[in-house]
A = this chain, B = another copy of it.
């Protein structure tokens, strides 16, 4: 039997105690999964353009409608409705970059969006948080910070994708200021600010600029901040989101236009129809980003899923979700625009259902060319809860997928004919040279899966994966180290946040 100490190098007291893969940018070298023919994609594309041309979409901000009108869109005074003709949409979206780097305050944590790269984001925006010991509670600063620490700690988390739980104990007027301070201090990875009106997103941009330690002109040339734009489906983009698009695009920061097209509720009950509507809303939003600032980085968001028709409850990680996620990848590729999709489930607990629904999203999302995977770590309950144990489970799932995407090498060494010859019929490979030279890094080593035999597993307490995940998240919090930040940057950040808090934060509502 071959023995190994750990997948990590020799440990010192300083080193982390949890095995995990090194920081890396996942890359998909395989043919992308497809479920629709080019003709079918074209039919969805044309249907979506017809929606924008004939039916139109509400832009609930006059300033936005004026920008669209100036570019040749059809608007009526006193009416929110905007109609885009095909040519205008296609001309506008042609300016989007197909690939870009997003800069973190720690350049080692820069990421690439587009091409065959993938980036995984921490859960964003749930109002509740849970672990199996203390149960479910409303979002709060303490849990918010602990979740951020896990996002920073685990190398497979590339993006802090919004508040991992809503810190409800912070007053709404200053929440974004305190929350973003915590986020940028506790983590040095790329991050997200909410487009909840002009003031908040301008604060988010200023914080991103400060922690990147750049002047405004340089900042505008280096995408460093994400903001998700959710449409208010069907066919509506509301005022705060439009203000977010305007300010983010002006600053050349990364917008993710994600229609909220739940089939059977806010979109047609047919997935094809929901996709046509998703595409219309996404193209409208993406076109608008380019009317504000040609070339601004933008991501095509797909979030189409279905509802439970008996209750109206949203469902995630369903067969319909899988199909929509793959079709979404095909649509985004048609426009050569990076694609955002998600790791989602509707389970009320970090249990087997959470695992299989997550895998039912992750496989399609990743193999179909998803570039930004939102909620990749920690989401349960259809987004109503962040789960500490689910974060650990997702680390395992994401790490497995990252390993899956490392292609097999096929050469004389790996085909191992000489090893097969040496070992011969009926022999074994445990101790042979070919094995000894490679066994340390031959296979993915899990952090959460338990491959003990039943007797050993039972002796160790017969712990389910969920219980083991509980233990591991606590261990990770102990191992967590706050990333370094220049004293001058920290002071500028504090000066800005403190001043804005003193001013009372956001006035607008």
Residues of A within 8 A of B (CB): 1-4, 30-31, 33-36, 40, 43-44, 47, 50-51, 54-58, 80-81, 128, 136, 232, 234-236, 263-273, 275-277, 306-313, 315, 318-320, 322-323, 327, 346-360, 363, 367, 381, 384-385, 393, 396-397, 400-401, 403-404, 406-411, 413-417, 419-421, 423-430, 434-435, 438-440, 442-446, 448-454, 457-458, 462, 464-466, 469
Contacts and interface: CB of A to CB of B under 8 A. Distances in A.
A44 B410 contact: yes
Nearest to A42: B410
Contacts of A466: 351-352
Contacts of A40: 408, 410
B420 A235 contact: yes
A356 B357 contact: no
A397 B357 CA distance: 9
A323 B410 CA distance: 13
B410 A43 contact: yes
Contact of A415 (B47, B263, B352): B47
B353 A356 contact: no
Contacts of A55: 417, 420-421, 424-425
Nearest to A457: B348
A425 B267 CA distance: 10
A451 B315 contact: yes
A417 B464 CA distance: 48
Contacts of A417: 47, 50-51, 55, 273, 276
A425 B277 CA distance: 11
A43 B2 CA distance: 29
A416 to B, nearest CB: 3
A161 B232 CA distance: 50
Given A347-B450, A360-B359, A235 B425 contact: yes
Given A318-B444, A429-B264, A352 B464 contact: yes
A232 B268 CA distance: 55
A356 B308 contact: no
A320 B444 contact: yes
Contacts of A266: 428-429
B449 A353 contact: yes
Contact of A33 (B43, B367, B397): B367
Contact of A356 (B31, B347, B348, B359): B359
A267 B425 CA distance: 10
Given A265-B430, A268-B434, 15 more contacts: A36-B410, A234-B429, A264-B430, A264-B439, A268-B416, A270-B442, A272-B410, A315-B451, A319-B400, A347-B450, A348-B454, A351-B465, A353-B464, A356-B356, A381-B453
A54 B273 CA distance: 59
Given A56-B425, A449-B353, A419 B464 contact: no
B353 A236 contact: no
Nearest to A435: B269
11 contacts: A2-B310, A35-B407, A36-B410, A80-B425, A265-B429, A270-B416, A275-B408, A311-B451, A319-B406, A348-B457, A353-B355
A272 B33 contact: no
A1 B264 contact: no
Nearest to A237: B425
Contact of A414 (B273, B310, B409): B273
A421 B54 contact: yes
A333 to B, nearest CB: 14
Contacts of A457: 348
A234 B443 contact: no
A273 B311 contact: no
Contacts of A269: 416, 429, 434-435, 438-439, 442
